[in-house]
Chain A
Amino acid sequence: MIWESFSTDTPVLIQGMTGKEGQRMAKWLIASGVNVVAGVTPGKGGQEVEGRPVFNTVAEARTAFPDVTVTSIVIPPARVVGAVEEAVQVGIRYLHILTEQVPVHDVMRMKDIAHTHRATILGPSSVGYLQFPQFRIGYLGGESPFETVKEGGTAIVSTSGGMTNELMMALSRNGIGVRVAFALGGDRVVGTTLEEAISWCEEHPEVASLALFVEPGRPFLNALCDGSFVFKKPAVVFLAGEALDDLPRGLPYGHTGTMLGEGELTVRETRQKLRERGIMCVATMSEFIHVCKEL
């Protein structure tokens, strides 16, 4: 995974800024100190949102703001793959995709395109990314997260956007600070996987420990169970969903990627396996906070 530590100077683009979610995202990001420089909506070039110019194409936006390499994509699912292609072709390197329900074949295609251009995709169905020094993209943390989120050394990584925020807020309330938070998106196939984001965190010395929320059925859990993925930094895995042990299998619950197949370990069995491997694995929020205080 190619990723950077960004800052309040990092220029950010919003593709789909004239839409309902795009407008609100622009407003909230600007209010939380993010340097949103422009938006892109085909056919709406010349308009303004929150005082920022809107262009018809990413190429035009790049001409006006040659330093911009980060974009947030907030457009209907059918057009996302085209928007990704357009962005990476003119030099955008970091792409966040909020849009949900993007067809999985489109996701595989955009991963190929991004790979060719050495670009990184966060999402689709990603609520965003947040870090210190103060920076974020997407909606992660809500309207004004930097008023509440405490700075520190923990990295939060999850496929669930809501739980990324829940953990971030709970840790902050309990006096534990956050360095980075990645909401990767809960689809079957995503641009950045749990393994990739965790590896990035482990390579960066400013991250002291890892807090993960993982849902049943993720291939990453198998990698942890069979020992093919080993944490290099102190880590806690919050594995919820033992209720699924008693529900029909082969159906997605919550996210399309959350599914226990026939013959897969139950959630309780998986927790047991992880603990046998010496991995800190918790089942509730209070256990999670308790363990994080010890890390």
Chain B
Amino acid sequence: MKLIEADAKRLLRDAGITVPAASRDRFPLYVKAQVLEGRRGKRGWVRRCSDAEELAKNISELEAMLRDTPHAEFLCETELPHEVEWLVSLTIDRDSGQIVGSVSEEGGVGVSAARSFPVHTPEDIGTLDLPNGIKKILASLFDAFQKHDALSIEINPLAVLADGSCVALDAKIELDDAAAFRHPEWAGFTALPESGRVRSEREEAYTLRQAQAGHRGTFGQYVELDGDIAMILSGGGASLVAMDALRAAGGRPANYVEMSGNPDPEAVREASRIVLSKPGIRAIWIAGSFANFTDIQATVMATIEAVRELGLRVPIVIRRDGPNAEAAKKDAERWASEHGVSLRFDFGDVDLDQSAAAAVAASRV
């Protein structure tokens, strides 16, 4: 999860890093929109106010601007005079699979303009050719990074005051969702949708369902799109192949969603129910790669159960293979003929491109 600035600063403060005092009555101050998007300054979402009247005016303007953007309560911080700004960050480098630090003496610039170095142990920080104040911040960050299961922490800018002390003026933190089981305290953080737009009711419901899913199987991202073919996809990589194939065949997906790794059929039924309740669906495409260990019968029939519950009467095209696939085909076809639903079930010898074309054709009947 990505943290809003106010939560990120709470975490930094606990790690011993100074952050500006929050205040709505010590002017001049900055009012800052609490959103997950970057470039807030350029968007006019951070504003300096010299008195209470200006603050009130800015807050009402910002509220109007942010009507369609997920945001939390505004953060107001008293201005802090300073000369020098740094950028200090830690992240996990996907290339090396290690923690990498970045610093720049010119805060405000992107991380790409900064100097980077691997940080394996706290001792690595001691050997860096950097001012002691910056090294102290890096050491506190490294400790917080590990303790909080962070994927990235960025302080930009970090103000260096006349007396040499450092204050984090802005902070971005992303935490590893997979580690949520050992961080009950994360429940206290504000969870905003990362897509930058307000979630639909269905996306909201799916997110809740996702949060409750156990470790078995994967409930990937659900994103509503503006097409008319509902996709229930399996396999992280195959979901991309499938979506490309559907679009290449002239189809317009109603959503992206991916469930795999032999997920619990009951969870598949609930998630399918959410996805398939989107209005305007003209066909359902259940597609995935040749499964290694996902029970095809249990998962396909879980989605069909959701179709039954919703009373949907649209064509269903399925391309699945793997464990229990033959039983899945038999069950699905029997259900379809009993309910008068058009259903086509192909195995692995029909590739995703061909099945996508069949789904597009079915949606146009």
Query: Which residues of A pack against B, CB within 8 Å?
Result: 21, 24-25, 76-78, 99-108, 111, 125, 127-128, 138-143, 158-163, 165-166, 168-170, 173, 183, 186, 188-190, 193, 213, 215-216, 218-219, 223, 240-244, 247-248, 250-258, 262, 283-286
Query: Which of B18-26, B125-133, B258-266, B333-341 is found at the contact surface with chain A?
Result: B258-266
Which residue of chain B is the closest to A140 with respect to CB atoms?
A: B292
Contact of A215 (CB < 8 Å), options: B99, B221, B237, B262: B237
Q: A219-B94, A247-B223, A255-B237 are in contact. Are A166 and B289 (CB under 8 A)?
A: yes
Candidate in A21, A163, A170, A215 with the most chain B CB atoms within 10 angstroms = A163
- Report the minimal beta-carbon distance from A203 to chain B, rounded to whole angstroms: 21
Which A residues are CB-close (under 8 A) to B38?
A: 262
Which A residues are CB-close (under 8 A) to B178?
A: 77, 101-104, 256
Which residue of chain A is the closest to B180 with respect to CB atoms?
A: A103
Alpha-carbon gap, A163 to B260, bound state (A) = 12
A-B contact pairs, 30 of them (CB 8 A): A25-B293, A76-B215, A78-B181, A78-B182, A100-B216, A100-B261, A103-B149, A104-B179, A111-B97, A139-B293, A142-B322, A159-B237, A160-B238, A163-B237, A168-B290, A218-B94, A219-B94, A219-B95, A248-B195, A248-B196, A248-B223, A253-B236, A255-B220, A255-B237, A256-B178, A262-B38, A284-B244, A285-B241, A285-B352, A286-B353
Which A residues are CB-close (under 8 A) to B195?
A: 248, 251
Which A residues are CB-close (under 8 A) to B293?
A: 21, 24-25, 127, 139, 142
Q: Is B146 among interface residues, defined by CB-CB distance under 8 A?
A: yes
- Report the minimal beta-carbon distance from A228 to chain B, rounded to whole angstroms: 10
Q: Is B27 among interface residues, defined by CB-CB distance under 8 A?
A: no
B residues 56-114 touching A (CB-CB < 8 Å)? 92, 94-95, 97-99
Q: Is B158 among interface residues, defined by CB-CB distance under 8 A?
A: no
Q: Is B157 among interface residues, defined by CB-CB distance under 8 A?
A: no
Which residue of chain B is the closest to A262 with respect to CB atoms?
A: B38
Which A residues are CB-close (under 8 A) to B218?
A: 100-101
- Report the minimal beta-carbon distance from A107 to chain B, rounded to whole angstroms: 7
**B239/A166 in contact, CB under 8 A:** no
Which A residues are CB-close (under 8 A) to B52?
A: none
- Report the minimal beta-carbon distance from B84 to chain A, rounded to whole angstroms: 27
- Report the minimal beta-carbon distance from B302 to chain A, rounded to whole angstroms: 17
Q: A78-B181, A127-B293 are in contact. Are A158 and B237 (CB under 8 A)?
A: yes
**B351/A162 in contact, CB under 8 A:** no
- Report the minimal beta-carbon distance from A236 to chain B, rounded to whole angstroms: 15
**A161/B235 in contact, CB under 8 A:** yes
Alpha-carbon gap, A126 to B98, bound state (A) = 20
Alpha-carbon gap, A230 to B38, bound state (A) = 36
Alpha-carbon gap, A241 to B238, bound state (A) = 9
What are the interface flags for B148-178 relative to A under an 8 Å C-beta threshold, 1 for contact and 0 otherwise?
0101000000000000000000000000101
Which B residues are CB-close (under 8 A) to A218?
A: 94
**A186/B237 in contact, CB under 8 A:** yes
Which A residues are CB-close (under 8 A) to B247?
A: 242-243
Which B residues are CB-close (under 8 A) to A183?
A: 292
Which A residues are CB-close (under 8 A) to B223?
A: 247-248, 251
Contact of A162 (CB < 8 Å), options: B94, B225, B234: B234
**B236/A284 in contact, CB under 8 A:** no
Which residue of chain B is the closest to A28 with respect to CB atoms?
A: B293
Q: Is B327 among interface residues, defined by CB-CB distance under 8 A?
A: no
Alpha-carbon gap, A147 to B281, bound state (A) = 40
Q: Is B348 among interface residues, defined by CB-CB distance under 8 A?
A: yes
Q: Is B28 among interface residues, defined by CB-CB distance under 8 A?
A: no
What are the interface flags for B212-245 relative to A under an 8 Å C-beta threshold, 1 for contact and 0 otherwise?
0001111011010100000000111111110111
Alpha-carbon gap, A99 to B245, bound state (A) = 29
